[in-house]
Amino acid sequence: MHIVVCVKMVPDTTLVQIDPKTNTLVREGVPFITNPFDTHAVEEALRLKDRYGGKVTALSMGPPAAEMVLRRALALGADEAVLLSDRAFGGADTLATSKVLSEAIRRIHENEPVDLVFCGLQTIDGDTAQVGPGVACRLGFTQLTLVDHIYEVNQRESYIEVRRKLEGAFERVQARMPALITTTREINTPRYPTVPGRLQAASRALPVWSNDVMKLERAEIGLQGSPTNVRRIFAPQREKGEIINGLNGAHLTAADCMLNKLYEWDILNAD
Ligand SMILES: Cc1cc2nc3c(=O)[nH]c(=O)nc-3n(C[C@H](O)[C@H](O)[C@H](O)COP(=O)(O)OP(=O)(O)OC[C@H]3O[C@@H](n4cnc5c(N)ncnc54)[C@H](O)[C@@H]3O)c2cc1C
């Protein structure tokens, strides 16, 4: 079984800024981590490898510094890793990101068929949860999102059975492989890398695929290939609230006052 897991490097903070000139994330001085949802995706891929055998390939699109999330995946037990890095990939929205990731998976698949692709449900910066389904759609793979438990992988009959976490309910689904899974945080508790694992990962040569390797149309990648782009990131401004004092026996007037406000704001209907 060959599993590809997509891991993204994200800012370890919500205080991110967009450079108004380039429309891309300001990275200087910002600490970066592996996207938390992706640590669960890596863990689940490794657990399936432990259970059924096979191989795990980690994949990331990002600046050269994104090498760190791949070395961590290797230290945890991934067998291979590929960094997709080129200025031409920069500033990508989810459409352009899924283009580059899906083309890389297609190349890997041609070389060694891929049975499963794991993605985190969403990232903590873009937070769109769109890339996983976008990659599945482009590859024509079955997509199973919000997965919080994997019951079985049947390689002989090429299907996977999972549980999806819906609002207030669970859904048990059996689906044809190859398939793409997006994992919730509840699916598992990630392991820690061992010291030998870290040392081995630190010395591994890491292939980097630029667009010279991928040969993708510029119009489909990066800022050029992105119909959406983030202009500015800002915290929502809240108007100063009004304090209605109900102390010292004034609770009835406070209640009346509240009631009038609710009518005034059309929250309650006088009719
Ligand atoms: C604050 C903010 C808001 C944004 N809003 C939008 C928007 O509304 N629409 C839009 O199109 N773009 C948006 N973007 C850009 C978007 O973040 C990038 O396109 C990003 O590369 C992918 O989207 P995402 O972070 O939402 O990923 P998600 O769809 O949330 O990611 C899901 C999973 O896909 C995989 N994945 C995602 N990116 C990568 C990667 N680079 N390498 C490897 N695996 C990856 C990971 O497994 C991840 O867990 C926004 C960016 C920021 C910082």
Residue 229 counted as domain residue = no
Report the separation in Å between the CA atom of 100 and the middle of ligand 1, taken as the mean of its atom positions: 12
For atom 22 of ligand 1, the residue with the nearest CA is: 94
Q: Where are the extended beta strands (E) located within 142-232?
A: 142-154, 159-166, 169-176, 179-183, 208-209
216 and 249 co-located in one domain:
no
Report the separation in Å between the CA atom of 92 and the middle of ligand 1, taken as the mean of its atom positions: 8
28 and 99 co-located in one domain:
yes
Residue 245 counted as domain residue = yes
- Number of the ligand 1 atom closest to the C-alpha atom of 5: 47
Q: Which residues of 222-240 are buried (b: 16+ CB within 10 A; e: fewer)?
A: bbebbeeeeeeeeeeeeee
Q: What is the pTM of this model?
A: 0.87
Residue 21 counted as domain residue = yes
For atom 51 of ligand 1, the residue with the nearest CA is: 126
Residues 1, 158: Cα–Cα separation, whole Å: 10
261 and 165 co-located in one domain:
no
The CB density around residue 64, as the number of other CB atoms within 10 Å, is 9
Output the pLDDT for position 238.
72
Output the pLDDT for position 246.
73
Token output for 95: 């459409």
Instruction: Tell me which residue range forms the domain holding 130.
Output: 2-220
The whole-number mean pLDDT for each consecutive block of 10 residues of the chain, a chain of 271 residues, reads: 97 69 69 95 98 98 96 98 96 96 98 98 93 98 98 97 96 98 97 96 97 97 91 72 75 81 80 63
52 and 110 co-located in one domain:
yes
176 and 249 co-located in one domain:
no
Q: What is the CATH number of the domain that holds 85?
A: 3.40.50.620
- Number of the ligand 1 atom closest to the C-alpha atom of 135: 34
64 and 170 co-located in one domain:
yes
Residues 199, 54: Cα–Cα separation, whole Å: 23
